[in-house]
Structure 1
């Protein structure tokens, strides 16, 4: 199995360079963009849509160089005028858009550039999976009907985390960087389908950064539930494949196929992931600006499943790194007063 040729997918519109400031409320990034004037009193910052619901561990550093794309004026109405697309990380340009891999795989399938996906009748996106019994019907990212009538279900995942400071981790992309019950459920659903006649199931994980040269590994440190589900799915016949993408400000290129290593990690790998998590915690997650406990930094704390786990819950000394600046959020601190909630005015009786 291999990629028969590189596949290039241009961005829809030009990208504007700038710097990352902070991330708020999960889906909002505050950016300073070159040549873009802001007149709303926010220190020259613009708000951009952050299409990444995860923790973005080992990824987001205040002051980092970023690129954003302006939303088309004739497009759907939205809260922000910009979409955050790229960030420069460890000298590598990486994608911050978790929807981008679906567009990349759509192009790979259209170009018939990946072995195992070169002979088919049709490709359909967002296909409802066969479902029995009660519950929500899930969808797979792509449904490929092969020439002989075989049904091929394809699920796409985005991997953005690498840890160049740790020798045993360097060159590997790790997925996910947080607990993802949805990803585990997808593995279980595909495993149930894989045993059916004339049925194939594949999970394609796209490493959205060029320095994942060795391959992709599921992270048992971040989500042992997903890792267990992935290994069981592989035993049931689900195929796991990895693709590596590189980025410029003009386009994304799927460059080659890389291995997906589903083996159980060694204690050295788990301990290295723990050290990397601790080092990255100050720049992980986002600043919550609503709720009774706001303002508060969230999604950067320890994982409950690592409590008492050998090498995964020990107290560590502060870690310095040439790859990021470990600063706390500069948006909120202990001196920032908690916003008072305004009471609703009761309607006057006539």
Structure 2
């Protein structure tokens, strides 16, 4: 995934109200407020003074012209925009970088399913068999090389696991893909101390046949690509 235009660098002042971040731009020293498309706690990724990169929009309908895309943390560039993972996983599937999800006849995004939900990606084989793919963004690293999910309590995430389990019960396939938006992790685990309910729901879904894969990202100032398998240790 390439960014539409070069990113703007700056220093983080603070992240607040979940979706706002104040940043001092390197170019002219102005302080701007950027949209932070990330509902999580961003544990370890909101230290004041951190180097960050923003995208800029000329859309006159947008109140905030800047969006926070990347932060430098632990010596690596980390993607924090949770609007990107579905596209990144779609690109990885189409490029054959998630081997278990290759070879399907069609791929569709945001398809209605279950009681009142939309699946991130629906794969269908030539014979009509469906595979429901839920994507979760990961960027928490508390131990070197170990990515963890979630970084805050996510009742919605537990709900998604139950819905995937329901699809398996109906005879379909279901997969959870963890998209690790950082290049410095080789293994992924669940942060059961942060959300024990999610960890329990994950195990229950796994026990009934929901599969799980993780893929790590190459994060650059000009773009982000999901490129390498990450082992899951659960």
3-state SS of 1:94 partner: strand
Residue 162 of structure 1 is aligned with which of 138, 141, 145? 141
1:28 aligns with 2:10: no
Q: Name the CA distance, whole Å, in 1 between partners of 2:36 and 2:202.
A: 27
Q: Name the CA distance, whole Å, in 2 between partners of 1:138 and 1:150.
A: 20
Q: Name the CA distance, whole Å, in 2 between partners of 1:28 and 1:85.
A: 12
Q: Name the CA distance, whole Å, in 1 between partners of 2:19 and 2:36.
A: 5
* TM-aligned CA deviation for residue 76 of structure 1: 6.5
3-state SS of 2:140 partner: coil
1:224 aligns with 2:208: no
Structure 1 runs not aligned, ≥5 long: 1-8, 38-43, 132-136, 164-168, 263-350
Aligned 1:28-107 pairs, distance under 5 A = 28-36=20-28, 44-71=30-57, 73=58, 75=59, 77-107=61-91
- Which structure: greater strand fraction? 2
Residues 119, 147 of structure 1: 8 Å contact kept = no
Residues 204, 242 of structure 1: 8 Å contact kept = yes
Counterpart position of 2:121: 142
Residue 147 of structure 2 is aligned with which of 151, 173, 180? 173
3-state SS of 1:162 partner: strand
3-state SS of 2:88 partner: helix
- 1:183-225 CA distances to partner (integer Å, 9 max, x unpaired)? 000001111111222x110000011111112x11111110000
Between the two proteins, the alignment pairs up a number of residues equal to: 234
**Would the alpha carbon gap of residues 76 and 212 (structure 1) be closer, same or farther in structure 2, given more than 3 Å must change?**
farther
Residues 11, 50 of structure 2: 8 Å contact kept = yes
Question: TM-score, normalising length from structure 1?
Answer: 0.65
Question: TM-score, normalising length from structure 2?
Answer: 0.96
